[in-house]
Structure 1
Amino acid sequence: MNETPILEPAEAYALWAPEYPACAHNPVMQAEERAMLTLMPAELAGYRVLDAGCGSGRYMLHALRRGAARVVGVDLSPEMLERARIELGQHRPDARVELLQGSLEALPVPDAWAQLTICGLVIGHLESLQTSLAELCRVTRPGGRLLCSDVHPIGHALGWVRDFKSGGARYAVRHTQHRFSHWHAACAALGLRIEQVLEPMLDPADIPAGAHFDRVALEVPVALVFQLRREP
Protein backbone atom coordinates (compact mmCIF):
# COMPACT_ATOMS: atom_id res chain seq x y z
CA MET A 1 0.00 0.00 0.00
CA ASN A 2 1.35 3.42 -0.95
CA GLU A 3 1.79 5.88 1.89
CA THR A 4 -0.10 9.17 1.77
CA PRO A 5 2.29 11.98 0.74
CA ILE A 6 2.72 14.56 3.51
CA LEU A 7 2.84 18.11 2.14
CA GLU A 8 3.91 21.41 3.64
CA PRO A 9 0.87 23.56 4.49
CA ALA A 10 1.28 26.06 1.63
CA GLU A 11 1.45 23.29 -0.97
CA ALA A 12 -1.38 21.32 0.63
CA TYR A 13 -3.84 24.19 0.85
CA ALA A 14 -3.09 25.29 -2.70
CA LEU A 15 -4.43 21.90 -3.77
CA TRP A 16 -7.24 21.78 -1.22
CA ALA A 17 -8.60 25.33 -1.62
CA PRO A 18 -10.90 24.84 -4.65
CA GLU A 19 -12.98 22.30 -2.72
CA TYR A 20 -12.63 23.73 0.80
CA PRO A 21 -16.00 25.12 1.99
CA ALA A 22 -16.47 27.83 4.62
CA CYS A 23 -18.03 25.39 7.08
CA ALA A 24 -17.05 22.43 9.22
CA HIS A 25 -17.07 19.65 6.63
CA ASN A 26 -16.03 16.53 8.54
CA PRO A 27 -16.86 15.05 11.97
CA VAL A 28 -13.63 16.26 13.62
CA MET A 29 -14.20 19.83 12.43
CA GLN A 30 -17.82 19.66 13.54
CA ALA A 31 -16.78 18.60 17.04
CA GLU A 32 -14.08 21.30 17.16
CA GLU A 33 -16.46 23.99 15.91
CA ARG A 34 -19.16 23.19 18.46
CA ALA A 35 -16.58 23.69 21.21
CA MET A 36 -15.21 26.91 19.71
CA LEU A 37 -18.67 28.41 19.27
CA THR A 38 -19.55 27.52 22.86
CA LEU A 39 -16.64 29.72 23.96
CA MET A 40 -17.20 32.53 21.42
CA PRO A 41 -19.25 35.42 22.87
CA ALA A 42 -22.83 35.29 21.63
CA GLU A 43 -22.82 39.05 21.05
CA LEU A 44 -19.86 40.67 19.29
CA ALA A 45 -21.31 44.11 18.56
CA GLY A 46 -18.49 46.65 18.51
CA TYR A 47 -15.77 43.99 18.47
CA ARG A 48 -12.73 43.94 16.23
CA VAL A 49 -12.15 40.26 15.45
CA LEU A 50 -9.02 38.68 13.97
CA ASP A 51 -9.14 35.22 12.42
CA ALA A 52 -5.52 34.07 12.23
CA GLY A 53 -5.23 31.27 9.70
CA CYS A 54 -8.72 32.07 8.42
CA GLY A 55 -8.74 29.54 5.57
CA SER A 56 -12.01 29.77 3.66
CA GLY A 57 -13.52 32.08 6.27
CA ARG A 58 -15.77 29.88 8.40
CA TYR A 59 -15.02 31.63 11.70
CA MET A 60 -15.16 35.03 10.03
CA LEU A 61 -18.72 34.21 9.01
CA HIS A 62 -19.59 33.13 12.55
CA ALA A 63 -18.15 36.37 13.98
CA LEU A 64 -20.15 38.45 11.48
CA ARG A 65 -23.35 36.56 12.32
CA ARG A 66 -22.75 37.49 15.97
CA GLY A 67 -22.48 41.16 15.09
CA ALA A 68 -18.71 41.85 14.89
CA ALA A 69 -18.04 45.43 13.81
CA ARG A 70 -14.90 44.62 11.85
CA VAL A 71 -13.30 41.31 10.92
CA VAL A 72 -9.81 40.70 9.54
CA GLY A 73 -8.69 37.32 8.21
CA VAL A 74 -5.05 36.37 7.71
CA ASP A 75 -3.84 33.26 5.92
CA LEU A 76 -0.56 32.03 4.46
CA SER A 77 -2.24 30.57 1.38
CA PRO A 78 -3.31 32.96 -1.41
CA GLU A 79 -5.51 30.18 -2.77
CA MET A 80 -7.38 29.88 0.52
CA LEU A 81 -7.75 33.67 0.73
CA GLU A 82 -9.31 33.65 -2.73
CA ARG A 83 -11.67 30.92 -1.55
CA ALA A 84 -12.57 33.10 1.47
CA ARG A 85 -13.27 36.08 -0.82
CA ILE A 86 -15.70 33.95 -2.80
CA GLU A 87 -17.42 32.52 0.29
CA LEU A 88 -17.71 35.89 2.06
CA GLY A 89 -18.96 37.51 -1.14
CA GLN A 90 -21.69 34.92 -1.40
CA HIS A 91 -22.79 34.92 2.22
CA ARG A 92 -21.96 38.42 3.55
CA PRO A 93 -21.36 40.74 0.57
CA ASP A 94 -21.93 43.92 2.62
CA ALA A 95 -19.81 42.95 5.63
CA ARG A 96 -16.81 44.99 6.71
CA VAL A 97 -14.01 42.46 6.27
CA GLU A 98 -10.38 42.51 5.20
CA LEU A 99 -8.29 39.58 3.98
CA LEU A 100 -4.49 39.69 4.29
CA GLN A 101 -1.78 37.24 3.32
CA GLY A 102 0.65 36.47 6.12
CA SER A 103 2.14 33.90 8.45
CA LEU A 104 0.97 33.10 11.96
CA GLU A 105 4.57 33.75 12.98
CA ALA A 106 4.50 37.32 11.56
CA LEU A 107 0.91 38.57 11.39
CA PRO A 108 0.38 41.76 9.32
CA VAL A 109 -1.77 43.26 12.08
CA PRO A 110 -0.94 46.11 14.52
CA ASP A 111 -0.22 45.48 18.19
CA ALA A 112 -3.30 45.10 20.42
CA TRP A 113 -5.69 45.42 17.46
CA ALA A 114 -8.20 42.65 18.22
CA GLN A 115 -10.64 42.33 21.08
CA LEU A 116 -11.17 38.70 20.04
CA THR A 117 -8.56 36.61 18.23
CA ILE A 118 -9.51 33.27 16.72
CA CYS A 119 -7.10 30.59 15.55
CA GLY A 120 -8.85 27.39 14.51
CA LEU A 121 -6.92 24.20 13.64
CA VAL A 122 -3.83 26.11 12.51
CA ILE A 123 -1.16 26.06 15.21
CA GLY A 124 -0.37 22.39 14.59
CA HIS A 125 0.93 23.38 11.16
CA LEU A 126 3.78 25.27 12.88
CA GLU A 127 6.62 23.72 14.83
CA SER A 128 7.00 26.50 17.42
CA LEU A 129 3.95 26.80 19.63
CA GLN A 130 5.40 29.64 21.69
CA THR A 131 6.30 31.73 18.62
CA SER A 132 2.76 31.35 17.28
CA LEU A 133 1.13 32.17 20.60
CA ALA A 134 3.43 35.19 21.04
CA GLU A 135 2.11 36.66 17.79
CA LEU A 136 -1.49 35.93 18.73
CA CYS A 137 -0.87 37.61 22.08
CA ARG A 138 0.78 40.65 20.44
CA VAL A 139 -2.19 41.41 18.18
CA THR A 140 -4.77 40.96 20.98
CA ARG A 141 -5.47 43.91 23.25
CA PRO A 142 -4.68 43.55 26.98
CA GLY A 143 -7.69 41.91 28.60
CA GLY A 144 -8.80 40.52 25.23
CA ARG A 145 -9.83 36.94 24.53
CA LEU A 146 -8.17 34.33 22.33
CA LEU A 147 -9.89 31.16 21.10
CA CYS A 148 -7.45 28.54 19.82
CA SER A 149 -7.99 24.96 18.71
CA ASP A 150 -5.87 22.14 17.41
CA VAL A 151 -6.22 18.47 16.61
CA HIS A 152 -5.94 16.62 19.91
CA PRO A 153 -2.41 15.28 20.52
CA ILE A 154 -3.83 11.83 21.20
CA GLY A 155 -4.53 11.61 17.47
CA HIS A 156 -0.82 11.86 16.73
CA ALA A 157 -0.16 8.94 19.07
CA LEU A 158 -2.83 6.91 17.27
CA GLY A 159 -1.32 7.65 13.85
CA TRP A 160 -4.05 9.97 12.57
CA VAL A 161 -3.19 12.41 9.78
CA ARG A 162 -4.95 15.50 8.42
CA ASP A 163 -5.67 14.19 4.97
CA PHE A 164 -7.72 15.25 1.95
CA LYS A 165 -8.32 14.37 -1.69
CA SER A 166 -7.38 16.43 -4.74
CA GLY A 167 -7.43 15.36 -8.37
CA GLY A 168 -8.29 11.80 -7.38
CA ALA A 169 -5.22 11.46 -5.13
CA ARG A 170 -4.99 11.56 -1.34
CA TYR A 171 -2.59 13.85 0.52
CA ALA A 172 -1.89 14.83 4.14
CA VAL A 173 -0.81 18.14 5.68
CA ARG A 174 2.26 18.24 7.92
CA HIS A 175 1.23 18.53 11.55
CA THR A 176 3.23 18.99 14.77
CA GLN A 177 1.96 17.59 18.05
CA HIS A 178 1.56 20.20 20.82
CA ARG A 179 0.64 18.62 24.15
CA PHE A 180 -1.28 20.36 26.92
CA SER A 181 1.91 20.75 28.94
CA HIS A 182 3.43 22.67 26.00
CA TRP A 183 0.42 25.01 25.90
CA HIS A 184 0.57 25.52 29.67
CA ALA A 185 4.27 26.43 29.59
CA ALA A 186 3.95 28.74 26.58
CA CYS A 187 0.95 30.57 28.02
CA ALA A 188 2.68 31.04 31.37
CA ALA A 189 5.73 32.51 29.63
CA LEU A 190 3.64 34.93 27.55
CA GLY A 191 1.18 36.21 30.14
CA LEU A 192 -1.78 34.35 28.65
CA ARG A 193 -4.27 33.06 31.21
CA ILE A 194 -5.89 29.71 30.38
CA GLU A 195 -9.56 30.25 31.29
CA GLN A 196 -11.17 27.16 29.79
CA VAL A 197 -10.04 23.98 28.05
CA LEU A 198 -12.46 21.77 26.13
CA GLU A 199 -11.74 18.33 24.68
CA PRO A 200 -14.67 17.62 22.35
CA MET A 201 -15.58 14.11 21.28
CA LEU A 202 -17.04 12.99 17.99
CA ASP A 203 -20.80 12.92 17.69
CA PRO A 204 -21.76 9.58 16.09
CA ALA A 205 -24.60 11.40 14.32
CA ASP A 206 -22.00 13.34 12.28
CA ILE A 207 -20.39 10.20 10.84
CA PRO A 208 -21.75 9.30 7.38
CA ALA A 209 -23.28 5.87 6.95
CA GLY A 210 -20.71 3.37 5.74
CA ALA A 211 -17.73 5.58 6.59
CA HIS A 212 -14.42 3.79 7.12
CA PHE A 213 -12.58 5.22 10.13
CA ASP A 214 -10.70 4.25 13.28
CA ARG A 215 -13.44 3.26 15.76
CA VAL A 216 -11.16 4.35 18.61
CA ALA A 217 -11.98 7.90 17.51
CA LEU A 218 -15.37 7.52 19.19
CA GLU A 219 -13.71 6.87 22.55
CA VAL A 220 -11.17 9.70 22.76
CA PRO A 221 -11.24 13.50 22.37
CA VAL A 222 -10.49 14.67 18.83
CA ALA A 223 -9.65 18.33 19.48
CA LEU A 224 -8.06 20.54 22.11
CA VAL A 225 -9.80 23.92 22.44
CA PHE A 226 -8.58 26.82 24.58
CA GLN A 227 -10.09 30.05 25.81
CA LEU A 228 -7.19 32.31 26.71
CA ARG A 229 -7.04 35.82 28.10
CA ARG A 230 -4.21 38.27 27.55
CA GLU A 231 -3.35 39.62 30.96
CA PRO A 232 -4.04 43.39 31.31
Structure 2
Amino acid sequence: MIDLGCGSGRLFEALLAGGAKRIVGIDGSPHLLARATRRIEGHASLRDARARGRIELVHDDVRRVRLQDRFALAILAGVLSHLDGPEDALRALSAARRLLEPTGTLIVDVLGPGGLPPHDLPLSLDWEQTSGGRRIVRRSRLERRETPEGLRVAYATLTDVVQADGTIARLPASFRLWYPPAAALVALAGEAELAVVAVYGSHDLEALHEDSERCIIVARPKVG
Protein backbone atom coordinates (compact mmCIF):
# COMPACT_ATOMS: atom_id res chain seq x y z
CA MET A 1 0.00 0.00 0.00
CA ILE A 2 1.05 3.62 -0.45
CA ASP A 3 0.68 6.35 2.19
CA LEU A 4 0.50 9.61 0.24
CA GLY A 5 1.61 12.49 2.42
CA CYS A 6 2.87 10.14 5.11
CA GLY A 7 4.42 12.97 7.14
CA SER A 8 6.18 11.64 10.23
CA GLY A 9 4.90 8.10 9.64
CA ARG A 10 2.19 8.25 12.31
CA LEU A 11 0.10 5.61 10.50
CA PHE A 12 2.85 3.06 9.90
CA GLU A 13 2.34 1.02 13.08
CA ALA A 14 -1.43 0.82 12.59
CA LEU A 15 -1.02 -0.12 8.92
CA LEU A 16 1.39 -2.93 9.74
CA ALA A 17 -0.86 -4.13 12.56
CA GLY A 18 -3.75 -4.10 10.09
CA GLY A 19 -1.94 -6.48 7.78
CA ALA A 20 -0.04 -4.28 5.32
CA LYS A 21 2.70 -6.37 3.70
CA ARG A 22 4.54 -3.37 2.26
CA ILE A 23 4.23 0.35 2.92
CA VAL A 24 5.59 3.08 0.65
CA GLY A 25 5.47 6.46 2.36
CA ILE A 26 5.50 9.54 0.12
CA ASP A 27 6.06 13.08 1.33
CA GLY A 28 7.33 16.32 -0.15
CA SER A 29 8.96 17.50 3.09
CA PRO A 30 12.50 16.29 3.84
CA HIS A 31 11.98 17.43 7.44
CA LEU A 32 8.92 15.22 7.89
CA LEU A 33 10.62 12.27 6.20
CA ALA A 34 13.52 12.70 8.64
CA ARG A 35 11.00 12.52 11.49
CA ALA A 36 9.52 9.39 9.91
CA THR A 37 13.00 7.86 9.80
CA ARG A 38 13.53 8.65 13.47
CA ARG A 39 10.14 7.13 14.29
CA ILE A 40 11.09 3.94 12.45
CA GLU A 41 14.47 3.77 14.16
CA GLY A 42 12.83 4.26 17.55
CA HIS A 43 10.28 1.44 17.25
CA ALA A 44 11.46 -2.16 17.06
CA SER A 45 8.54 -3.36 14.93
CA LEU A 46 8.98 -0.55 12.41
CA ARG A 47 12.75 -0.96 12.38
CA ASP A 48 12.37 -4.68 11.70
CA ALA A 49 9.81 -4.04 8.95
CA ARG A 50 12.12 -1.59 7.22
CA ALA A 51 15.05 -4.02 7.46
CA ARG A 52 12.87 -6.60 5.73
CA GLY A 53 12.00 -4.17 2.94
CA ARG A 54 8.42 -3.67 4.11
CA ILE A 55 8.71 0.10 4.66
CA GLU A 56 10.12 2.50 2.08
CA LEU A 57 10.24 6.29 2.28
CA VAL A 58 10.22 8.37 -0.90
CA HIS A 59 10.64 12.12 -1.29
CA ASP A 60 8.07 13.18 -3.89
CA ASP A 61 5.11 15.47 -4.53
CA VAL A 62 1.75 13.76 -3.94
CA ARG A 63 0.33 15.69 -6.90
CA ARG A 64 2.71 14.04 -9.36
CA VAL A 65 4.21 10.88 -7.86
CA ARG A 66 6.66 9.32 -10.32
CA LEU A 67 6.62 5.72 -9.09
CA GLN A 68 5.89 2.97 -11.60
CA ASP A 69 4.54 0.57 -8.95
CA ARG A 70 0.82 -0.13 -8.61
CA PHE A 71 -0.87 -0.62 -5.25
CA ALA A 72 -3.95 -2.34 -3.86
CA LEU A 73 -4.49 0.49 -1.37
CA ALA A 74 -3.65 4.20 -1.34
CA ILE A 75 -4.28 6.59 1.54
CA LEU A 76 -4.55 10.39 1.54
CA ALA A 77 -5.03 11.10 5.26
CA GLY A 78 -5.12 14.74 6.30
CA VAL A 79 -3.36 15.75 3.09
CA LEU A 80 -5.82 17.53 0.80
CA SER A 81 -6.39 20.35 3.29
CA HIS A 82 -2.71 21.28 3.00
CA LEU A 83 -2.97 21.71 -0.77
CA ASP A 84 -3.95 24.98 -2.39
CA GLY A 85 -7.50 24.08 -3.39
CA PRO A 86 -9.55 22.10 -5.91
CA GLU A 87 -6.99 22.13 -8.74
CA ASP A 88 -4.21 20.73 -6.55
CA ALA A 89 -6.63 18.26 -4.97
CA LEU A 90 -7.64 17.01 -8.41
CA ARG A 91 -3.97 16.50 -9.29
CA ALA A 92 -3.42 14.52 -6.09
CA LEU A 93 -6.52 12.39 -6.64
CA SER A 94 -5.52 11.73 -10.26
CA ALA A 95 -2.01 10.76 -9.17
CA ALA A 96 -3.48 8.40 -6.57
CA ARG A 97 -5.73 6.80 -9.17
CA ARG A 98 -2.76 6.19 -11.49
CA LEU A 99 -0.96 4.44 -8.63
CA LEU A 100 -3.82 2.03 -7.96
CA GLU A 101 -4.27 -1.43 -9.34
CA PRO A 102 -7.46 -1.71 -11.46
CA THR A 103 -9.31 -3.12 -8.44
CA GLY A 104 -7.44 -1.00 -5.88
CA THR A 105 -8.96 1.28 -3.25
CA LEU A 106 -8.26 4.90 -2.32
CA ILE A 107 -9.14 6.26 1.13
CA VAL A 108 -9.33 10.03 1.57
CA ASP A 109 -9.60 11.31 5.15
CA VAL A 110 -10.19 14.99 5.98
CA LEU A 111 -11.88 16.94 8.76
CA GLY A 112 -15.65 16.63 8.76
CA PRO A 113 -18.12 19.49 9.30
CA GLY A 114 -18.15 18.93 13.06
CA GLY A 115 -14.37 19.19 13.27
CA LEU A 116 -14.03 22.53 11.50
CA PRO A 117 -13.35 25.71 13.50
CA PRO A 118 -16.70 27.50 13.97
CA HIS A 119 -15.23 31.01 14.26
CA ASP A 120 -12.02 33.02 14.20
CA LEU A 121 -9.69 32.68 17.16
CA PRO A 122 -7.55 35.63 18.34
CA LEU A 123 -3.95 35.11 19.38
CA SER A 124 -4.18 33.04 22.55
CA LEU A 125 -2.18 30.60 24.65
CA ASP A 126 -2.20 26.98 23.45
CA TRP A 127 0.12 25.43 25.99
CA GLU A 128 3.15 26.00 28.18
CA GLN A 129 5.69 23.38 29.24
CA THR A 130 9.25 22.93 30.50
CA SER A 131 11.79 20.80 28.64
CA GLY A 132 15.53 20.51 29.24
CA GLY A 133 15.55 23.50 31.55
CA ARG A 134 13.76 25.67 28.98
CA ARG A 135 10.26 27.09 29.22
CA ILE A 136 8.33 26.69 25.97
CA VAL A 137 5.19 28.70 25.33
CA ARG A 138 3.04 28.37 22.21
CA ARG A 139 0.34 30.78 21.11
CA SER A 140 -1.78 30.63 17.98
CA ARG A 141 -4.44 32.49 16.04
CA LEU A 142 -6.89 31.36 13.38
CA GLU A 143 -8.82 33.23 10.70
CA ARG A 144 -11.50 31.50 8.62
CA ARG A 145 -13.07 32.47 5.30
CA GLU A 146 -15.99 30.77 3.58
CA THR A 147 -15.47 30.40 -0.18
CA PRO A 148 -17.42 28.65 -2.96
CA GLU A 149 -14.90 25.78 -2.94
CA GLY A 150 -14.92 25.32 0.84
CA LEU A 151 -13.57 26.76 4.07
CA ARG A 152 -10.22 28.57 3.89
CA VAL A 153 -8.29 28.83 7.15
CA ALA A 154 -5.20 30.92 7.92
CA TYR A 155 -3.49 29.45 10.98
CA ALA A 156 -0.43 30.97 12.64
CA THR A 157 1.60 29.90 15.66
CA LEU A 158 4.16 31.76 17.74
CA THR A 159 6.43 29.63 19.92
CA ASP A 160 8.70 31.24 22.52
CA VAL A 161 11.60 29.18 23.86
CA VAL A 162 12.87 30.78 27.08
CA GLN A 163 16.38 29.72 28.11
CA ALA A 164 17.50 29.51 31.74
CA ASP A 165 19.34 32.85 31.38
CA GLY A 166 16.17 34.57 30.18
CA THR A 167 17.11 34.61 26.49
CA ILE A 168 14.04 34.15 24.28
CA ALA A 169 13.98 32.54 20.84
CA ARG A 170 10.75 33.37 19.02
CA LEU A 171 9.71 30.86 16.35
CA PRO A 172 6.80 31.90 14.10
CA ALA A 173 5.02 29.54 11.69
CA SER A 174 1.99 29.91 9.46
CA PHE A 175 -0.22 27.59 7.42
CA ARG A 176 -3.04 28.04 4.94
CA LEU A 177 -5.56 25.22 5.00
CA TRP A 178 -8.50 24.31 2.78
CA TYR A 179 -11.44 22.20 3.90
CA PRO A 180 -13.73 21.07 1.05
CA PRO A 181 -17.26 19.83 1.76
CA ALA A 182 -18.00 16.16 1.10
CA ALA A 183 -19.96 16.92 -2.08
CA ALA A 184 -16.97 18.77 -3.52
CA LEU A 185 -14.67 15.85 -2.69
CA VAL A 186 -17.00 13.38 -4.38
CA ALA A 187 -17.17 15.61 -7.47
CA LEU A 188 -13.37 15.93 -7.61
CA ALA A 189 -13.01 12.16 -7.28
CA GLY A 190 -15.31 11.76 -10.28
CA GLU A 191 -13.18 14.19 -12.31
CA ALA A 192 -10.14 12.08 -11.37
CA GLU A 193 -11.84 8.98 -12.86
CA LEU A 194 -12.57 7.55 -9.42
CA ALA A 195 -15.90 6.03 -8.40
CA VAL A 196 -16.88 6.79 -4.80
CA VAL A 197 -18.23 3.63 -3.17
CA ALA A 198 -18.69 4.88 0.42
CA VAL A 199 -18.66 8.04 2.54
CA TYR A 200 -18.22 7.91 6.33
CA GLY A 201 -18.21 10.41 9.17
CA SER A 202 -15.83 8.64 11.55
CA HIS A 203 -13.12 6.00 11.76
CA ASP A 204 -15.83 3.73 13.19
CA LEU A 205 -17.56 3.97 9.78
CA GLU A 206 -20.53 5.95 11.07
CA ALA A 207 -22.68 7.82 8.56
CA LEU A 208 -21.56 11.33 7.66
CA HIS A 209 -23.69 14.10 9.19
CA GLU A 210 -23.29 17.76 10.11
CA ASP A 211 -21.65 16.94 13.47
CA SER A 212 -19.17 14.39 12.08
CA GLU A 213 -15.57 15.02 13.11
CA ARG A 214 -14.20 13.27 10.00
CA CYS A 215 -15.13 12.99 6.35
CA ILE A 216 -13.83 9.74 4.84
CA ILE A 217 -14.22 8.95 1.15
CA VAL A 218 -13.64 5.44 -0.21
CA ALA A 219 -13.14 5.26 -3.98
CA ARG A 220 -11.96 2.91 -6.71
CA PRO A 221 -10.81 3.47 -10.30
CA LYS A 222 -13.70 3.80 -12.72
CA VAL A 223 -14.17 0.85 -15.05
CA GLY A 224 -14.42 1.47 -18.79
TM-score of Structure 1 vs Structure 2, range by shorter chain: 0.5 to 0.7
Who is 1:132 aligned against?
Answer: 92
Who is 2:68 aligned against?
Answer: 110
1:156/1:177 contact within 8 Å kept: no
Who is 1:88 aligned against?
Answer: 40
> Do structure 1's residue 148 and structure 2's residue 87 form an aligned pair?
no
How much does 1:167 deviate? 4.8
Match of 2:213 among 218, 222, 229: 222
How much does 1:180 deviate? 1.9
Give 1 or 2 for the bigger CA radius of gyration.
Answer: 2
How much does 1:165 deviate? 6.3
Give the count of matched residue pairs. Answer: 166
Distance in 1 (alpha carbons) for counterparts of 2:9 and 2:157: 18
Distance in 2 (alpha carbons) for counterparts of 1:143 and 1:61: 25
Distance in 1 (alpha carbons) for counterparts of 2:175 and 2:200: 24
Partner deviation per Cα, 1:104-150 (whole Å, 9 max, x = no partner): 11113225x11110111011111222111101111111110111111
How much does 1:153 deviate? 5.4
How much does 1:222 deviate? 2.8
Report the secondary structure of 2:65's partner residue.
coil
Distance in 2 (alpha carbons) for counterparts of 1:60 and 1:110: 22
Mean alpha-carbon deviation: is it higher for 186-195 or for 150-159? 150-159
> Do structure 1's residue 231 and structure 2's residue 222 form an aligned pair?
yes
The 5 Å alignment of 1:42-53 reads: 49-53=1-5
Q: Report the TM-score when normalising by structure 2.
A: 0.65
Who is 2:59 aligned against?
Answer: 101
Report percent identity of matched pairs. 27
More helix, by proportion = 1
User: Relative contact order, CA 8 A, sep 6+: which one is greater?
Assistant: 1
Match of 2:80 among 123, 147, 150: 123
> Do structure 1's residue 179 and structure 2's residue 174 form an aligned pair?
no
Who is 2:130 aligned against?
Answer: none
The runs of 5 or more residues in structure 2 that have no matched partner are 121-141, 143-152, 162-170, 204-209
Report the secondary structure of 1:67's partner residue.
coil
The 5 Å alignment of 1:41-80 reads: 49-80=1-32
Partner deviation per Cα, 1:37-92 (whole Å, 9 max, x = no partner): xxxxxxxxxxxx10000011122221112232211000011010010011112221
Q: Report the TM-score when normalising by structure 1.
A: 0.63
Report the secondary structure of 1:185's partner residue.
helix
The runs of 5 or more residues in structure 1 that have no matched partner are 1-48, 202-218
Report the secondary structure of 1:56's partner residue.
coil
